[in-house]
Amino acid sequence: MAYSATAPLLSQQLLLNIAEQLKLPLLQIARLSEISQMTGQPLSADVQVTAQSALSLIDNYVLGVQMAAEKHTMELESVSVSSVLYDASHELSGIAKNYGVALELNIGGRYGPVMINRLGLQSALVSLGTALIEALPALETPQLKLQLATHRCRYGIVAGLYADSEQLSSQVLEQGRKLYGHTRQPLTTLTHTAGAGVFVADAILRAMQLRLQVSRHHRLYGLGTVLQPNHQMQLF
């Protein structure tokens, strides 16, 4: 595989960020495994969810690097944004339960299909959702809820994740991008972790020539991306 000039840099920065992110869950798994061996009790379902979340982050990192290197041969297909959000919510259900976060879907309405790499979009949403779920308990939110939603804007169709927290702001995102690669916790006002999921999502979206940006949905604050409708498919 021939990687582009930007791929090694992308790989190194993301890998360092992910390594920092995975320290705590791997330590938790190791300690719970020791306790299980000492007590003879089987490992809880929480351990499986933690391990699966860590593996998902690594898989999505690899996908981001591959997509950045192969953007000219990326497979596109006509997909429903609502169906991608629905599938992403299922992937996030385990870790959401671990953190006591309620997931909500707001995907009603007729939005038509978009031309996109489905795996890339879903992986970006799952990475982003995981990061926000981990962040929510420490944020000033009235309720631990995360909404996966789609809506129209003047530029296209928005797919995003939303919560009742003003800390999901453009200033926080831009500051995190500036600090990314220079500090262990570039999103300090948003999460106590390395926030790797946000940057993995950002990398995947950039590989698809999309942008992760701050978004509003009703009275909620969130992060999402704007997708262009497939007008040809809407004619049928």
Q: Give the tens place of pLDDT for each residue, 103-112.
A: 999 998 888 8
Q: Which pLDDT score is estimated for 175?
A: 74
What is the total residue count of the chain?
A: 236
Higher per-residue pLDDT: 228 or 166? 228
CATH 3.30.565.10 assigned to domain 6-234? The reply is: yes
Higher per-residue pLDDT: 102 or 64? 102
- Cβ–Cβ under 8 Å, residues 219 and 213: no
Q: Which pLDDT score is estimated for 15?
A: 74
- Domain boundaries defined on the chain: 6-234
| Whole-number average pLDDT of the chain | 82
Which residues, in sequence order, are CB contacts of 95 under 8 Å at separation 6+?
Answer: 49, 50, 53, 130, 133, 134
**Would you state the structure tokens that stand for residue 140, as one six-digit string?**
């000033």
Residue 48, number of CB atoms within 10 A of its CB: 12
pLDDT higher than 90, residue 231: no
Higher per-residue pLDDT: 195 or 66? 66
| Coil vs helix vs strand at 213 | strand
- Cβ–Cβ under 8 Å, residues 140 and 167: yes
Q: How sure is the predictor about 2, in pLDDT bands with cuts at 50, 70 and 90?
A: very low
**Would you state the structure tokens that stand for residue 189, as one six-digit string?**
């006002």
152-167 confidence digits (pLDDT tens): 998 899 999 999 988 7
Report the percentage of the chain scoring pLDDT > 70.
Answer: 82
What is the rounded distance in angstroms from the CA atom of residue 33 to the CA atom of residue 22? Answer: 16
Phi, psi of 161 (to 5 degrees): -125, 135
Average of pLDDT values for 17-24?
77
Q: Show the DSSP H helices in the chain as ranges.
A: 6-39, 45-69, 81-98, 118-135, 170-179, 196-207, 231-234
Q: Which pLDDT score is estimated for 186?
A: 62
